Structure formats: C-alpha cells, structure tokens
C-alpha cells in the first residue's frame, strides 16, 4: 500500500494546487508540477520516483497525447504541413545554435557543448499540448502549428539523440551508420504506420462497438493507444508520437461517442495525466550547489529565447506577428527528451551532476514559465484580432 | 515500456477471453482469470507478477468494491443485518471445521491443520461481488445477503489471521493479547469510520462538485476511494472494506451523476478490475507435483461444500431454500485472504511449497467454478419464484 499512498498524496496535492492555480487564471499543470516539487526530495521528501509512479506517468502522457489527437481536426492538422516543417526546423536550429554558443562562451569541452545544444533543441510535446488543452487553444491556427511542429521536432530529436549516444559510447561522432539506420527505421515505421494504421485501428474500434458493454469500447480505445505507443517506441520514436497519431486517426469516431470521449478525458485528466505532471515536479532536485551554478541563469535564458526566436522565424511567413510569437512561446517547454538526453550524457560521462541538475531545473522552469507568458500572448493576440476586425 | 507491454498483453487477452466467455452466457471474470493463467508462468510465461501489476490489481479491487458499494442500496443493505451475521458466522464455522477434519484425516500436524482450517474460512469479497455484478444480482435479496456476510467474514478473517501469525512467529497460540488488540483496533476503527466518514466523505464530494471541471468530481471520487481503502488497511482490515463502505456512503450522490457513475464503471471494469482478475490467473502455478498431490481434490471439495453448507445453514431461516443455496454458493470463492494466509504460513515454516501451491489451485478453482454453479442456481431460483407466485 506504500506506493498507493504515494500516488494518493500526489493526486490530492496536485488536484488541490491545480484548482488553486486555475482559479487564479492559469493552467492547472503549473499547480500539478508544484505539487510534485513540494512532495519530492528537495522539500518534504514524502514521495520519491519509483518504477510504478514512472509507469503511471507514462500512461499519463500516452493518454494525454491520445486524447489530444482525438480532439484535433485531422484535416486542418494535415493542411498545416508547411508551417509545421518550417517551424520545426527553425525551432530546433536556433536553440541548438544558442546552446553551442553558450557552451563556447562557458569554455565547455566539445562533447559538453554538443550535449548542451541537443538538450536545448527538443520541445516537450506533452507539456505544449497540455498548455493548449488548458487554454482551449488546441484547434486554433496557433495550436495546430505548435503541435504539428512538435511532432516533427521529436523526429529530429531521434537523430540528435542518436548522435549523442554515439558520442557517449565511442567518444567520437563517427558512428554515423547506426544513427542513419535508426532514423531510417523510424521513418519507415512512420510511413508504414500512417499507411496501415488507419484501416487497422478503425477496424478494431468498430469491432469493439459491436459488443454489448460500453466498457469494451473504452478498453479497446486504451488498448489501441497503448499498443500504438509501444510500436512507436519500438521503432525508436518517443511513445507519445504513436499515441498521438492513433488519437488523430480515431478522432472522428471517438468524438461521435460523447460518453466515451468524456470517460477518456476523466481517465486522463482526472487521474493519469495529473500524475504525469506531478511526477515531473518530483524530478526537481535543487541544492545550494545548483543555485550557485553559473550555468543556470544563462541556460534558462537561452532555452526560452532560443525557442521563441526559432518558432517565430519559422512561422512568421504563415501567421501574424502575434500568432508567430505565440507559436515560439508554445514550443518553449522542454521535458522528457531533454531529461533523457541529460541522463545519457551523465551515464556516458560527458557531463557532471551539476550540469545534469541544472538541466532538470531548466526543464521545470520552462514548463512553469511558458503558460504564464502565453497568457499574456493570448490576451494580446485577441486584442490584435479585435483591432484588425 | 516492458511493464506497459505486460499490462497491454493482460488487457488484450483478458478482454478477448472475457468477451468469449460472456457470449457463452457466463461472467467475463472467468475469461479474465483464464487469460492470466495462459500468459502466466505455468503456460506461456510472457507475464510475471511484479510490484506495478500488483498495484494495478490493488487499485482494481478498490475500484470494484467502491463501485459496487455505490451501486448498492444502503437502506436495504442495513436491513439485512440479521441474515448477514448468521450467514457470516455459519459460513466461517462450517469450512473451518471441514478444514480441521481434513487436516486430521490427512494426519497433518496441529499447526498445519490450523492453517488449513483458516485458509478455507474466508470468502473473497472481491470475487463474490464481481460475480453478482456480472449476473446483475447485486441488489437482490441474495446479493445483499452475500455481500453483507462477506464484509463480516473479513472481520472474522483478521482475527483468524492474527492467530495464525502468532503461531507462525511464536509456535504457540498464546499470543492472544496482540490478537485481541488487533481486533479491537479494527472494530474501533470501523465504529469511528461509520460515525465520522459519512459526513466527511459527503462534504468533500460536495466541495468537488462546486469546481468547474467534471474531472475534479471524478478525481475526488477516486481519492476518497483510495483514502478509505488506505485507512481500513492501516486499521488492520482488508483495504477493500474501506473502499466498499465509502462507496455505500457516497452511493446516492454518485448514482445521481450518471456521467460520473458511467465514467467510474469504465475506469474499473474497462481497465483496473480486468487487470485484477487477470493478475489472479498469474498466481496459478501448476506443476506435475501439484497435480499428483493427494491434498488437492479433497481440499477443493471441502472448500466448495463447506461454504455451500455453511451459507445455507446461516441463511435458511431468512430465505427460501433456493435462495439460501445461492447464498452458500455465492460465498464459495476464496481469494486474497486465503493467499495471504498461505503466504504467512509458508514464510513462517508451517507449511511446505506443495500445500502452498495446492491452496493457490483451490483459490483459482473456486473462483472459476462458483459462477458456473451459480448460473444453474439462478435459473432454478427463478423457476421456484415463478412456481410460488
């Protein structure tokens, strides 16, 4: 029962803080992350990450991406291809360059500099999507641009992570073969998945609807989300990508069954997604050493400025200035991938624990600051719309 | 992702088998347990129990008892006090005596005989409730009698488990003080819980309803279920008892919010409850040694006959003969407590691995056979009702 008590504490605290933050006009996720920080090792120390909590969090991010996919309009998502590609590319290049510059200025080794550049490159699709859901902006032009760019971001992320793993293992960047192999597998998987999955997923889903119990449709929706997530993970992509595509494909059928959609929303936002965000807070370990670290402030500034500028440059040709700024802002949160990158680098001996913990602080700060900044952005964007109309 | 893949396999297989069994006219739980047996160590060996699956199963039984409590009519539940007490007492005494006799006939030691008697005494409230839910008999006179007797059963179980633990640790039955202490704590807790919890639970629940999101009511329902479960576990009772009482208390409010009730049903029966029943199947380890064991057939016969006779004797003064027979049948499944008892005895050196594995087989057999037998019983009871009307 110990782990159940920890989950209970996380859930109570996260829901309470989320509600308070929401009443103050900001997205609940800030409160949920704050709950994890409070209960985690730095402050109270009542809850520590363990395998079970990690699996609850994994199911949380899978549910989040699946539900968000189901909520999005597949057509308008596909229509935004151009803005997605250009935003993703610029949104990775600028913070990558920023990280490289920072490493140079701080006199880091080549491997450390490469690590820094990569850790700053990849948006957390989970956090970005959650902010859009909380602000009810998922299906707007800004929302679709952010999400589609974040999906491509993740594919670029595999490539970068592959390079880093090669450096961590061999000390050189010459393992190009295995990296391109990994990228090839991921792309072949994606193409096959997009070709075959729609038929297969819809067939299974329709089959489930023929059974007598409503729970069966619900179970099959969860099964398809988990299975797609597992497949994409096996192909080397982040598992949230598979869950998101499955959601996009089944969106129309799920939205038509209002009872099912609400029930899945409860499953996600009433339980697992909350635990995912609280578990992010648990990662926060802030010691005096971190506080005194000379990297921490520049790292955070480059993280925020890099994505805002990159996202803005990438999307300005397709959107208004206020919208492009919001796209840049929306891509600012870093998450799972930055943490994986940091772990690979730490284990591979590329970085020390001080830089590792600085990266976790950067992740938490971008997650908490982005929704705060975006609120101003959304208010401003609405003013612009009113003025122009 | 390994554990997620295991959960995925369990869910797919359990839902598929459950559907097939249901189409054949029997409760889905048989198929779910069968799925666990198939995937577990004896046959395919693809899934093994681990801490995370155990926690999913724990949440499953908590959800099952909470939802069943919410589904039951509190008034008619309380009105059945007399039949509950007499059924629980006779339903424990007869299989206890049967176990003692069996131990004597098999020439077991005193401690082994005590173990056997205790392992046969306690009904699995989770399995009994699930069978009633699947047959839609939870709110009938038979259903209420079974569930209320099973709740009291569990309290008797603490007492018996206390005796066994004392024997396992000290080798004597003289640790009466600590056993009565444990029983006293459990009873004081129950009294306090029944006095204080209704006000507290309803107050929290109403508070949650004032928030804007539907997920909040859902989260609070889950929080209250888990918290009550944890409290009852802390007081020495099985955690399902606390969840059941919380469900009973909140029943009226939950049933009024149809969307919430359906969503909780999905949460339970579409996910966690299924994993609980599949995880029971995982425990099944059947070797040639078990098959050749001379205890196994008598053990199963005493397990089934003991509860049928005991439940019949205990309830016949209040019910028709067909109903009393169904009550006895409904109390036949053994589960969690028999397994805990067996584990305590194995670790304490009271029994060997052969008897331990015989008990797990007995548990699985009673779980699978009971719904099969009850179907005949329900058909017969309906015939009797038609004849008498």
pLDDT tens track for A185-213: 778 888 888 888 888 999 989 888 888 77
B185-212, pLDDT tens digit by residue? 778 888 888 888 888 999 989 888 888 7
What domain range includes position A94? Answer: 48-388
Check CB contact of A163 with chain B, cutoff 8 Å: no
Distance from CA of A319 to the nearest CA of B (A): 32
pLDDT tens for B279-336 read: 988 887 777 777 777 788 999 999 999 999 999 999 999 999 999 999 999 999 998 7
Identify whether B117 is part of a domain.
Answer: yes
- Residue A23 domain-assigned? no
Nearest to A315 by CA among A143, A158, A159, A155: A143
Residue B254 at interface with chain A, using a CB cutoff of 8 Å: no
Distance from C-alpha of B166 to C-alpha of B302, rounded to nearest angstrom: 25
Does the structure show a pLDDT above 50 at A386?
no
Instruction: Give the integer Cα–Cα distance in Å for A359 and A345.
Output: 11
Q: Say how many residues make up chain A.
A: 389
Q: The domain spanning residue A245 has which CATH number?
A: 1.20.1530.20
The three-state secondary structure class of B107 is coil
Q: What are the chain A neighbours of B19 within 8 Å (beta carbons)?
A: 211, 216
Q: Are B370 and B27 in contact (CB under 8 A)?
A: no
Rounded to a whole number of angstroms, the distance between the first and last alpha carbons of chain B is: 58
Give the side-chain half-sphere CA count within 13 A for B281.
Answer: 29
Number of domains in chain A: 1
CB proximity list for B309: less than 8 A, separation 6 or greater: B94, B328
CB contact under 8 Å between A11 and B220, yes or no, is: no
Q: Do B271 and A222 touch (CB under 8 A)?
A: yes
Residue with tokens 């985690």: A40
**Quick one: which of A222, A177, A219, A224 has its CA closest to A200?**
A224
Q: Is A24 on the interface with B (CB under 8 A)?
A: no
B residues 266-295 lying closer than 8 A (beta carbon) to A: 266-267, 269-271, 274
Enter the tokens of residue A364.
Answer: 């938490």
Nearest chain B CA: its distance from A66 CA (Å):
16
Helix, strand, coil shares of chain B, percent, nearest 5, are 80, 0, 20
Neighboring chain A residues of B15 at a CB cutoff of 8 Å: 216, 219-220, 223
Q: Do B1 and A58 touch (CB under 8 A)?
A: yes
In a domain, B3, yes or no: no
Tokens of B143: 């259903």
Which tokens belong to A245? 């595509």
Question: What contacts B345, CB < 8 A, 6 or more positions away?
Answer: B115, B119, B164, B168, B351, B356
Residue A368 counted as domain residue: yes
Mean pLDDT of chain A, nearest integer: 86
- CB-hemisphere CA count at 13 Å for B341? 32
Helices A141-170 and A125-134: crossing angle in degrees, nearest 10, is 160
- The answer to the question of residue A377 being in a domain is yes
Q: Is the pLDDT of residue A302 over 50?
A: yes
- ipTM, two decimals, is 0.85
Q: Classify residue B382 as exposed, middle or buried by CB count within 10 Å of its CB (0-12, 13-18, 19+).
A: exposed
| Domain contains B27 | no
Domain for residue A16, yes or no? Answer: no
Pair of tokens at residue B80: 């059945």
* Of the listed ranges A138-152, A282-296, A327-341, B368-382, the one predicted with least confidence: A282-296
- What confidence category does residue A384 fall into, taking pLDDT thresholds of 50, 70 and 90? low
Q: Do A215 and B270 touch (CB under 8 A)?
A: yes
Compute the distance between CA of residue B359 and CA of residue B365 in angstroms, rounded to an integer.
10
Q: Is residue B119 part of a domain?
A: yes
Q: What is the CA radius of gyration of chain B?
A: 20
DSSP alpha helix (H) spans, A171-257: 176-209, 214-234, 239-256
Q: Quick one: tokens of A46?
A: 């009542």
Per-residue confidence (pLDDT) for residue B91, from 0 to 100: 92
B51-75 tens-digit pLDDT: 999 999 999 999 998 998 898 877 8
Task: List, as one string, the DSSP characters of A23-82.
Answer: HTTS-HHHHHHHHHHHHSTTTT------HHHHHHHHHHHHHHHHHHHHHS-HHHHHHTHH
| Spacing of C-alpha A324 from chain mean position | 19
Among A280-294, B102-116, B181-195, name the most confident range.
B102-116
Q: Look at residue B185 in the predicted model and tell me its pLDDT.
A: 79
CA distance A151 to A158: 11
Residue B388 predicted with pLDDT over 50: no
**Sequence-separated (6 or more) residues with CB below 8 Å from residue A135:** A27, A371, A374, A375, A378
Q: Tell me if chain A has a CB within 8 Å of the CB of B11.
A: yes
The answer to whether the CB atoms of A215 and B266 lie below 8 A apart is yes
Nearest C-alpha of chain A: how many angstroms from B137?
Answer: 17
What's the CA gap between B380 and B135, in Å, rounded? 14
**In whole angstroms, how far apart are CA B310 and each of B87, B155, B304, B326?**
7, 17, 10, 12
Sign of CA dihedral A205, A208, A210, A212: negative
Express each pLDDT in A109-134 by its tens digit: 888 899 899 999 989 988 999 999 88
Chain B interface includes A263 (CB < 8 A) = yes
């Amino acid at each position: 029962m110990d782990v159940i008590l920890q989950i209970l504490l996380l859930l109570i605290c996260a829901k309470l803080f989320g509600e308070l933050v929401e009443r103050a006009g900001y997205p609940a996720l800030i409160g949920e992350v704050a709950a994890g920080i409070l209960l985690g090792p730095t402050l109270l120390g009542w809850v520590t990450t363990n395998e079970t909590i990690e699996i609850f969090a994994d199911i949380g991010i899978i549910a989040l991406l699946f539900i968000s996919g189901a909520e999005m309009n597949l057509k308008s998502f596909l229509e935004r291809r151009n803005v997605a590609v250009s935003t993703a590319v610029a949104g990775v290049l600028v913070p990558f360059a920023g990280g490289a510059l920072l490493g140079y200025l701080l006199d880091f080794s080549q491997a450390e500099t490469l690590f820094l550049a990569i850790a700053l490159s990849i948006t957390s699709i989970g956090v970005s999507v959650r902010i859009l859901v909380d602000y009810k902006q998922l299906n707007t032009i800004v929302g679709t641009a952010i999400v589609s760019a974040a999906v491509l971001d993740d594919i670029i992320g595999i490539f970068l992570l592959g390079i880093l793993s090669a450096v961590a293992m061999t000390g050189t960047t010459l393992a190009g073969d295995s990296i391109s192999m990994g990228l090839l597998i991921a792309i072949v998987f994606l193409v096959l998945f997009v070709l075959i999955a729609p038929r297969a997923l819809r067939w299974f889903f329709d089959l489930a609807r023929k059974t007598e119990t409503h729970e069966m449709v619900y179970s099959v929706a969860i099964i398809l989300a988990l299975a797609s997530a597992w497949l994409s993970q096996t192909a080397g992509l982040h598992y949230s990508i598979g869950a998101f595509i499955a959601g996009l494909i089944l969106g129309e059928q799920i939205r038509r069954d209002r009872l099912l959609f609400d029930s899945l929303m409860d499953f996600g936002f009433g339980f697992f997604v909350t635990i995912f965000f609280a578990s992010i807070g648990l990662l926060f370990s802030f010691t005096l050493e971190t506080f005194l670290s000379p990297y921490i402030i520049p790292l955070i500034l480059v993280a925020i400025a890099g994505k805002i500028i990159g996202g803005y440059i990438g999307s300005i040709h397709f959107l208004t200035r206020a919208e492009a700024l919001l796209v840049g802002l929306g891509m600012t949160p870093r998450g799972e991938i930055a943490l994986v990158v940091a772990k690979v680098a730490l284990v591979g001996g590329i970085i020390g624990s001080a830089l590792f913990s600085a990266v976790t602080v950067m992740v938490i700060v971008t997650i908490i600051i982005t929704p705060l900044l975006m609120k101003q952005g959304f208010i401003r964007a609405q003013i612009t719309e009113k003025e122009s109309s």
